């Protein structure tokens, strides 16, 4: 199985776990004299099974990512950390850009005028550059995931 397939299965298992949690909550209390539509004990057993599958799969994915190396010698784990950092940087820069480029409505000359102290054009260029790096990095990680066999 390729890592990409394992990641898809992981996502499905995580979704199933969330659904089971909701189903358990929906069946823990019933009106006196009624029966729950599903037995919470059976759902808990199924939840345990899904969690065990998830744990095993996550371990295998992480172990594979620690051993899979790109052409520059970086592991997938390092690439993912770099991707997370770039994503956070982009989010912050985009928020700053929004704030810096927002216009200020003044209703009278007596209101305090606010000025932008960052170069909005330069900031926009930085955002574009980081976004391009993030796209390239994401494609590289995905390519490795489709090529690499899961341990």
Backbone angles phi, psi at 127, to 5 degrees: -60, -45
Whether 67 has a pLDDT exceeding 90, the answer reads yes
Residue 151 forms part of a structural domain:
no
- Cα atoms in the Cβ-side hemisphere of radius 13 Å centred on 129: 6
Burial of 122 (0-12, 13-18, 19+ CB in 10 A): exposed
Residue 150 forms part of a structural domain:
no
Q: What is the pLDDT of residue 106?
A: 65
- Mean pLDDT lowest for which of 28-32, 50-54, 76-80, 99-103? 99-103
Question: Would the pTM count as exceeding 0.75?
Answer: yes
Query: Of 18, 38, 67, which marks where a domain is finished?
Result: 67
Q: Would you call 149 helix, strand, or coil by DSSP?
A: strand
pLDDT digits (tens, 9 = 90+) for 70-126: 999 999 999 999 999 999 999 999 999 999 988 777 677 767 777 889 999 999 999
Mean pLDDT value of segment 128-136: 98
Same domain? For 52 and 103 the reply is no
Across the chain, the runs of DSSP E, i.e. the strands, are: none
Q: What is the pLDDT of residue 139?
A: 98
Same domain? For 60 and 105 the reply is no
Same domain? For 45 and 61 the reply is yes
Domain that holds residue 55: 1-67
Q: What is the pLDDT of residue 111?
A: 76
């Amino acid at each position: 199985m390729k890592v990409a397939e394992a990641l898809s299965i992981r996502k499905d298992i995580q979704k199933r776990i969330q659904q089971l949690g909701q189903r358990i909550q929906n069946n823990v209390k019933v009106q006196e004299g009624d029966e729950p539509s599903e037995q919470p004990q059976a759902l808990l057993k199924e939840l345990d099974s899904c969690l065990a599958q998830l744990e095993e799969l996550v371990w295998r994915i992480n172990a594979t990512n620690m051993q899979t190396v790109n052409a520059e010698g970086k592991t997938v784990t390092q690439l993912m950390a770099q991707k997370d950092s770039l994503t956070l940087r982009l989010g912050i820069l985009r928020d700053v850009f929004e704030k810096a480029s927002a216009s200020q409505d003044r209703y009278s000359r007596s209101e305090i005028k606010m000025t932008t102290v960052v170069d909005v054009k330069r900031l926009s260029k930085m955002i574009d550059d980081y976004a391009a790096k993030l796209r390239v990095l994401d494609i590289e990680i995905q390519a490795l995931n489709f090529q690499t066999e899961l341990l």
